[in-house]
Amino acid sequence: MCGRFTLQTPSHQLATLFDQIQDLEIPEQESRHNICPTQDVLAVRKPDQSLEAVMLRWGLVPFWAKELKIGNRMINARSETVFEKPAFRNAVKSKRCVIVCDGFYEWKPVEGQKKKQPYLIAKEDRAPWLMAGLWESWRDPTGPKDAEPIETCTIITTDANDFMSELHHRMPVKLEDDQVSYWLDCDFTDKSQLKAMLEPKDWDGFEISKAAL
Give dist(CA 62, CA 71) in Å, integer. 8
124 belongs to the catalytic site: no
- Taking all residues of the chain, what is their mean pLDDT, rounded to a whole number? 93
Q: Are β-strands 150-159 and 129-138 bridged in parallel, bridged antiparallel, or unpaired? A: antiparallel
Q: Backbone phi, then psi, for 159, in 5-degree steps?
A: -60, 145
Structural domain of 164: 5-140+147-210
Give dist(CA 157, CA 137) in Å, integer. 21
pLDDT over threshold 90, residue 37: yes
97 belongs to the catalytic site: no
- Count of structural domains within the chain: 1
At residue 13 the predicted structure's pLDDT band, cuts being 50, 70 and 90, is confident
User: What's the CATH code of the domain at 86?
Assistant: 3.90.1680.10
To which H or E segment does residue 13 belong?
Answer: helix 11-14
At residue 12 the predicted structure's pLDDT band, cuts being 50, 70 and 90, is confident
The mean pLDDT of 140-156, rounded to a whole number, is 93
> Which residue type is seen at 81?
T
The mean pLDDT of 107-130, rounded to a whole number, is 93
In total, the chain counts a number of residues equal to 213
Catalytic-role residue among 36, 84, 97, 106? 106
The pLDDT value recorded for residue 200 is 94
